[in-house]
Amino acid sequence: MFTGVASRTPVFLIAAVVGAGCTHLSPVAAPVVVKRAQLHMGTLVSITAVASTSDRANGAINAGFAEIKRLEQLLSTWIPESELSSVNASAGKAPVHVSPETVAVVRRSLQVAEMTGGAFNIAIGPAVDAWNVIEAQRIPPNDELEALKARISLGGVHLDEQARTIYLERAGMRIDVGGIGKGYAADQAVATMEKAGAIAGVVALSGDIKAFGQLPGGKKFPVGIQHPRREGEVLLFIDLQDEAISTAGDYERYFDHEGVRYHHILDPATLQPARGCQSVSVIAKDGVWADGLDTGIFVMGPARGMELVERLDDVEAVIVDHEGHVHISSGLVHRVRFPNEPDEKGRPQ
């Protein structure tokens, strides 16, 4: 199981729309669409595969689930024997030798941290624990949070790629890749499925989704982004092809106190809940970037966050700011559809 700093509700309605797409298959169409779900990484994982036969589609799905399970054994901080658990247990003591996959995820995490000016931080776990917004519903005093800052500094995370070691320099430090690891797992599962013979498909780890290829008939994979203030309602739709999407929001893990919402996405600079956004959805070529950037952009806020998106290649975003206004990046504005607008074949949503 992963823990993480981004909202991971199943905010995308891909299960329904992909199923609907399958009903339009011609009886003479060669490709077959198969979908299955299992529990991995502390969430429901749904995999859809398009292949020449049902056996091949099921084989690709099995390969995808196996890859996700393999990565979970390396990366989950809920598994005491995992590599990241060993890294955390050795904080302040010694470097820990890890696999290429763990190196890759931590390297990407540090890159996203740099891209977002430290707004994304895989070492922020001790502060998240101090808030414990689901169980404790307490507001930690400032002196308690201030005492944690040395333990959440990314300057204390030392990754040696050549030696393949990770060292946390202070006792009590720990890293958790829950805010980026599901996107990485989706990428790796897709690569494994393609090797197993799938020509298209979707891997959805709760709200982290990676799509490749097209549905039979040339249709892309449509997903709906959840409205952050209206439970069960879709904010807008977008069609994916060879892309990933991930959302961070303040509406899954939070409590209200005296009219103020306290949620789990913390600003590493203040260790207080970030206040600029209600939700951020990022679309990118790779799930690892979409997954990491959504949290970082949420913390950065709508103005700085959208400035970053517009500078990055192959990255788009939908940002709902704290007042509920919707901001759509320039490369995405003509691709999204709001409810009751027709889809690519002219049918109403």
- Residue range(s) in the chain whose domain bears CATH number 1.10.3980.10: 76-168
Averaged over successive runs of 10 residues, the pLDDT of the chain (349 residues) comes to 40 37 45 96 96 97 98 97 98 98 98 98 95 89 95 97 98 96 98 98 95 94 95 95 97 92 96 98 98 98 98 97 98 93 57
pLDDT at 136: 82
pLDDT at 163: 98
Query: CATH top-level class for 14-74+180-328?
Result: alpha beta
Fold type of domain 76-168: T-fold (1.10.3980)
pTM over 0.85: yes
pLDDT at 348: 53
In tens, the pLDDT along 292-313 reads 999 999 999 999 999 999 999 9
Q: What is the 3-state secondary structure (H, E, C) of the chain?
A: CCCCCCCCCCCECHHHHHHHHHCCCCCCCCCEEEEEEEEECCEEEEEEEEECCHHHHHHHHHHHHHHHHHHHHHHCCCCCCCHHHHHHHCCCCCCEECCHHHHHHHHHHHHHHHHCCCCCCCCCHHHHHHHCCCCCCCCCCHHHHHHHHHHHCHHHEEEECCCCEEEECCCCCCCCCCCCHHHHHHHHHHHHHHHCCCCEEEEEECCEEEEECCECCCECEEEEEECCCCCCCEEEEEEECCEEEEEEECCCCEEEECCEEEECCECCCCCCECCCEEEEEEEECCHHHHHHHHHHHHHHCHHHHHHHHHHCCCEEEEEEECCCCEEECCCCCCCCECCCCECCCCCEC
pLDDT at 347: 52
pLDDT at 22: 36
pLDDT at 135: 87
